[in-house]
Structure 1
């Protein structure tokens, strides 16, 4: 028995060496580029798809759009020069002929398909001018033995062949630990096959396996892998939540009769019941000695900024600083002005920090933050630059948190790390989002967060009327703009591009501004876009808020946060080019006063199916949660999670669209695994989440 175990260890050790030394340093570098370092990485580098090379088809049976494999004799082969240089060959079997083409080729490939040779080719079949054809097919010698099972095709990188990758993975299969990380009772309850069986089936499908089950990822082997991936994610989130409870944070207690009460007394408006509920949730969290990590969801215009002000007031009254970071300068500056107007009269020193500051202004802001003189610092990603330091940062607030990469969120939090009695202090964190998180996403990616929702609008906010109008009716839209302005109201006209793009043929903001100014000579027409100098943008937005501009032509720089109650009309040019969440955010710039507001989605025909779905969704509902769910269905979870900027993968194998049942099962299993099978839970995390936990939730 001992000899057998020793032999197994020796075999695995030898296989590890074969994997590591595979074909020299070039292949090693390519494998590392794919994130493949240890045998445990290789075994879960699973196929993207499979090729069926188990049989030969006749040429006559081939169909366009499908892959096929045929054998025959090359009856003609030549290099053609029209319409471009290419290698052209004709393959013939007993049933017909097939054209083979290579647009780029080597002399060795030309030799492979010389006239008179019998070859086997595999590729996708297309309809060409001379009948069916294959472009750049895979070529091998005719008559060689056919594989008995499907051939896996792996994700790879330039310069790393499928053959090299398969060899490396096969070596790893001999070296890796394939023991199961799930207890038998759990596998039995959810009908899961053993991990080792699943891995072997996916890398080396048996001859009798269903091709459709493998491709559509419905095979029990895929179900096991998807369950494992989702379970690892849920375990990581649960571990993150438990670890946060062990961290130390300053308890920011609300001082009776202090700043929080003073802020409440000074407000010229009443808070909604939803705002009061959320403020109470956050206040309770801030009073604890472990860091708050709460997500505040609120639809466009629901009043999240005043909630942030109450959280800031509680932190400041406890002797700590607050940092608020927003993704755009316009939004950050608007937060600054609002918060300063509420808190400065109460004695709170608020500082603005953005990339557009002069060197002198920047130094003053940095000194104020570092000395503790600045109690509230509001800014953009300038807040996370190396020179920025805080005396005692107790609360971090991230607005539109999904627009920041996970690394950026982590960096701001680290600005507040300190020591108390030898233990690290972590600042409390409040994440705000006007893009509600769909239930499926919240269940899988936000399981470690406490979530609050402002689910009602402040009094006086009326629903925005949404209209779909083809751009051929532009004159009607211009008439609507004139009518609104005559009644003393203001309007936005949003365009997707600043400079001309022949490919997209879009109206640009610059051209639209010139045309509208010409068509509406009695109207004050302003222009704002991302390429303007910051001072110019600030002046234009100030003039618009002050009523000195009637019609503001803009790009999506006004997408979030801009608050002009007198603006009652929003025209979105080429609405079909915008994302659904973006359209919802833009629509939210109007309807902020007590007058009926209108959002005109002006589109260019013909509409694609996706564009039609987006516009229909916006027309049919104003519910941010419903829109968020439809946006998830259309675009996937990347935009909600802020992972585009981080480069981190979401789910490699499971899908939120099709695997909700598996996700729910994985979520059920987490507490049991952590409570009763801690060794299994640890092993499972090591297999699936090595070096990734830090990026799961920041």
Structure 2
């Protein structure tokens, strides 16, 4: 008789939930810190509570009933001998109702509210009275469905006992210690084990404010270690790339690079010249370039990309440019074809175009051109990195609006390099300037080039904040712009009506503006067309609408944020952003950048609504205030980092697993400076400690930095 196959180990729902949270190792659980704490260390008499206090009481149930007015609810009255309190539950189970039977002695914890009827607690947590009171605050952890707090607390407690929490920092370099020259002081200095034990089970007498604002020495230790792990991993990635090989691409005298400079219809700005030289120096090296090109909207990044592509093509290699949307990719395609195609044709070279909406025959033709090497420049969307795309000699990959792409997509583009097991050079571009602390942390592995000068002829855009009640005035302003032969954008946050958000949508706005502007005329008599553009439209329809607007045959374009980047219509002089309070600051700045691209005076109207509220929320107010006060993209970026945190700038760089969970770049610049100083010393003098430190904090996530 054959032996039965060994039974597969079963994974409980709670274990699956732990994996969903990324909690695989003891150290992962040890670093899974509480969201907040509950004080269950003492019992408070009802006679001593104040309205608004969150307290724990011990009392006897004197009444328990289900009421159906105004809705189904469980009403439980308790008495602790000093006063009574009503516990109100709108959601409850029969088992809970049974546990709260008359005569039961319970401990309940919740916020106490006052009123004509006496003290009340809404949905308090409760359990049977009895047993010793805890000696530390009770942690409440971030969790997911299927993972109760009790299970998570037990798992964390076990992990703290088993995890290796030995020191990985060289003693003289500890933040705040006497051997460290940094100004940072974390005295009294806590060890990692002390810090984690304290943060999971803080003493009841600790000032909760220092836990909530992360200023407690235990928090400071964790933030310092986390920033150091990030700096170490970035530096490791940067040093590893220095050992990789890439084609050395050098411009030839009288070659494509010089010819392109000669035929450009404008002179380069000083910033464009400087940045182009930085990129050219990198391309000439046999190690892969990893450079981020940042510049405000309209600073001329596309021509810098074209000059880099010319160097690559002139050296006999292929260049790929990938953009996040078909509209942006097509804008690049038109510009680059206009500049480069006349220079490539005499050399027998072509430009290929790849998007997801292409007809099968056209796609096959383009794939053949790319594989043969005849297509020296390949421009497109995500379609560029599909498996069927085979490059003959790819040496330079340019990614526009890099924060829109995920790690896997950037790695896929790098993997297209087939010749001699070499790496392609990588140039990433962004119109969202990177604040200093972000460049020092998340982008520490990249060289950063900055276009800090706008081309001549760009007019400053006046930004106005207008309440939606003045919508008719804005429409009259549009009518006046059209009469002068100018064009207008009107941007809405939704495509169709949503019950969840009471926002004016693009289709509704398109119909309303078409009716309101029916009699308007543009260009001395031609009828004004109001067009509609959104992401759900077929690609051919999108192209047709954009062609009419860019060609000047359409006066008003009603759109969703699909026109956020890349669209270049110098004749457009007015941008209206509907429900501006709903947009992010960086996005508002990008949208504003669509106007002011010609010589005409331009304006951006931020049409806002407060809804039912008497005034705007604090965050929305801060965003709109920043838009009105400054047009400087770098200042906008700095304020955006303060308001929203780093997510807006990073996109999917960390593939959904942020490398910083505890440190705050807006508040912890000193700690970041300390980590930047220590990281190279640790890698050089204590490589084993450095590797252990990175693995402890990041595990496999450090791999994402290679993108």
Instruction: Report if TM-score (shorter chain) is over 0.5.
Output: yes
**1:208 Cα deviation (Å)?**
5.1
> Are residue 153 (structure 1) and residue 115 (structure 2) matched?
no
> Are residue 589 (structure 1) and residue 589 (structure 2) matched?
no
Partner of 2:389: 388
Aligned pairs for 1:20-59 (under 5 A) are: 25-59=12-46
Q: Alpha carbons of 1:497 and 1:163: their partners in 2 closer, same or farther (altered >3 Å)?
A: closer
Indicate the SS of the match to 1:689: helix
Once structures 1 and 2 are overlaid, which stretch shifts more, 252-261 or 202-211? 202-211
Following TM superposition, the consecutive aligned residue runs of length 4 or more in structure 1 with deviations greater than 6 angstroms are: none
**1:578 Cα deviation (Å)?**
1.7
Partner of 1:533: 538
**1:541 Cα deviation (Å)?**
0.9
Indicate the SS of the match to 2:261: helix
> Are residue 552 (structure 1) and residue 561 (structure 2) matched?
no
**Which among 638, 641, 645 is matched to residue 650 of structure 2?**
641
Deviations 1:538-595 (A, max 9, x none): 1111111111112222221111110011111222222222221111111111111122
Does the 8 Å contact 2:401/2:428 carry over to 1? yes
Q: Alpha carbons of 1:33 and 1:601: their partners in 2 closer, same or farther (altered >3 Å)?
A: closer
Partner of 2:48: 61
Does the 8 Å contact 2:39/2:204 carry over to 1? no
Indicate the SS of the match to 2:12: helix
> Are residue 622 (structure 1) and residue 641 (structure 2) matched?
no
Q: Alpha carbons of 1:502 and 1:173: their partners in 2 closer, same or farther (altered >3 Å)?
A: closer
Partner of 2:402: 401
Once structures 1 and 2 are overlaid, which stretch shifts more, 451-460 or 470-479? 470-479
Q: Alpha carbons of 1:85 and 1:468: their partners in 2 closer, same or farther (altered >3 Å)?
A: closer
Aligned pairs for 1:409-428 (under 5 A) are: 409-416=410-417, 418=418, 420=420, 424-428=421-425
TM-score normalised to structure 1 length: 0.92
**1:63 Cα deviation (Å)?**
4.1
Q: Alpha carbons of 1:132 and 1:315: their partners in 2 closer, same or farther (altered >3 Å)?
A: farther
Indicate the SS of the match to 1:600: strand
Indicate the SS of the match to 2:375: coil
Indicate the SS of the match to 2:699: coil
Mapped partners of 2:486, 2:204: distance in 1: 72
Indicate the SS of the match to 2:700: coil
Partner of 1:607: 616
Mapped partners of 2:551, 2:11: distance in 1: 68
Indicate the SS of the match to 1:78: strand
Mapped partners of 2:510, 2:620: distance in 1: 25
Indicate the SS of the match to 2:76: strand
Mapped partners of 1:662, 1:645: distance in 2: 21
**1:649 Cα deviation (Å)?**
2.2
Does the 8 Å contact 1:52/1:150 carry over to 2? yes
**1:200 Cα deviation (Å)?**
2.0
Uncovered stretches (5+) of structure 1, i.e. residues with no partner: 1-20
Once structures 1 and 2 are overlaid, which stretch shifts more, 548-557 or 500-509? 500-509
**Which among 125, 148, 151 is matched to residue 138 of structure 1?**
125
Does the 8 Å contact 1:54/1:148 carry over to 2? yes
Q: Alpha carbons of 1:511 and 1:215: their partners in 2 closer, same or farther (altered >3 Å)?
A: closer
Partner of 1:226: 223
Q: Alpha carbons of 1:125 and 1:666: their partners in 2 closer, same or farther (altered >3 Å)?
A: farther
Partner of 2:696: 687
Indicate the SS of the match to 1:692: helix
Mapped partners of 1:129, 1:585: distance in 2: 53
Partner of 1:171: 158
Does the 8 Å contact 2:233/2:694 carry over to 1? yes
**1:135 Cα deviation (Å)?**
3.1
Root-mean-square deviation (CA, aligned residues, Å) is 2.0
Does the 8 Å contact 2:489/2:556 carry over to 1? yes
Q: Alpha carbons of 1:680 and 1:75: their partners in 2 closer, same or farther (altered >3 Å)?
A: same
Partner of 2:357: 356
Does the 8 Å contact 1:50/1:215 carry over to 2? no
Partner of 2:524: none
Deviations 1:425-465 (A, max 9, x none): 11111110111011121111111111111111111111112
Partner of 2:239: 242
Aligned pairs for 1:112-511 (under 5 A) are: 112-126=99-113, 130-187=117-174, 188=177, 189=180, 191=186, 192-206=189-203, 209-347=206-344, 348-416=349-417, 418=418, 420=420, 424-511=421-508
Mapped partners of 1:158, 1:211: distance in 2: 28
> Are residue 107 (structure 1) and residue 98 (structure 2) matched?
no
Deviations 1:310-351 (A, max 9, x none): 011111111111111111111111101111111100014111
**Which among 59, 63, 66 is matched to residue 72 of structure 1?**
59
Mapped partners of 2:143, 2:616: distance in 1: 36
**1:298 Cα deviation (Å)?**
0.8
Partner of 2:669: 660
Indicate the SS of the match to 1:696: helix
Once structures 1 and 2 are overlaid, which stretch shifts more, 77-86 or 374-383? 77-86
Deviations 1:59-100 (A, max 9, x none): 233345442100111110122233333322111123322221
Indicate the SS of the match to 1:294: strand
> Are residue 572 (structure 1) and residue 577 (structure 2) matched?
yes
Does the 8 Å contact 1:638/1:650 carry over to 2? no
Partner of 2:5: none
Partner of 2:6: none
Mapped partners of 2:150, 2:406: distance in 1: 36
Q: Alpha carbons of 1:127 and 1:629: their partners in 2 closer, same or farther (altered >3 Å)?
A: farther
TM-score normalised to structure 2 length: 0.91
Does the 8 Å contact 2:659/2:698 carry over to 1? no
Indicate the SS of the match to 1:375: strand
Indicate the SS of the match to 2:575: strand
Q: Alpha carbons of 1:256 and 1:127: their partners in 2 closer, same or farther (altered >3 Å)?
A: farther
Mapped partners of 1:632, 1:128: distance in 2: 42
Q: Alpha carbons of 1:64 and 1:255: their partners in 2 closer, same or farther (altered >3 Å)?
A: farther
Q: Alpha carbons of 1:199 and 1:392: their partners in 2 closer, same or farther (altered >3 Å)?
A: same
Does the 8 Å contact 2:654/2:705 carry over to 1? no
Q: Alpha carbons of 1:645 and 1:499: their partners in 2 closer, same or farther (altered >3 Å)?
A: farther
Mapped partners of 2:652, 2:68: distance in 1: 46
Does the 8 Å contact 1:88/1:102 carry over to 2? yes
Does the 8 Å contact 2:106/2:129 carry over to 1? yes
Q: Alpha carbons of 1:554 and 1:653: their partners in 2 closer, same or farther (altered >3 Å)?
A: same
Does the 8 Å contact 2:586/2:648 carry over to 1? no
Q: Alpha carbons of 1:92 and 1:366: their partners in 2 closer, same or farther (altered >3 Å)?
A: same
Uncovered stretches (5+) of structure 2, i.e. residues with no partner: 1-8, 522-527
Deviations 1:272-307 (A, max 9, x none): 110000000000001111111111011111110000
Once structures 1 and 2 are overlaid, which stretch shifts more, 174-183 or 101-110? 101-110
Mapped partners of 1:501, 1:157: distance in 2: 28
Mapped partners of 1:661, 1:317: distance in 2: 46
Mapped partners of 2:398, 2:391: distance in 1: 15
Once structures 1 and 2 are overlaid, which stretch shifts more, 166-175 or 526-535? 166-175
Indicate the SS of the match to 1:351: strand
Mapped partners of 1:137, 1:105: distance in 2: 11
Mapped partners of 1:126, 1:315: distance in 2: 70
Mapped partners of 1:31, 1:293: distance in 2: 36
Aligned pairs, number = 673
Indicate the SS of the match to 2:102: coil
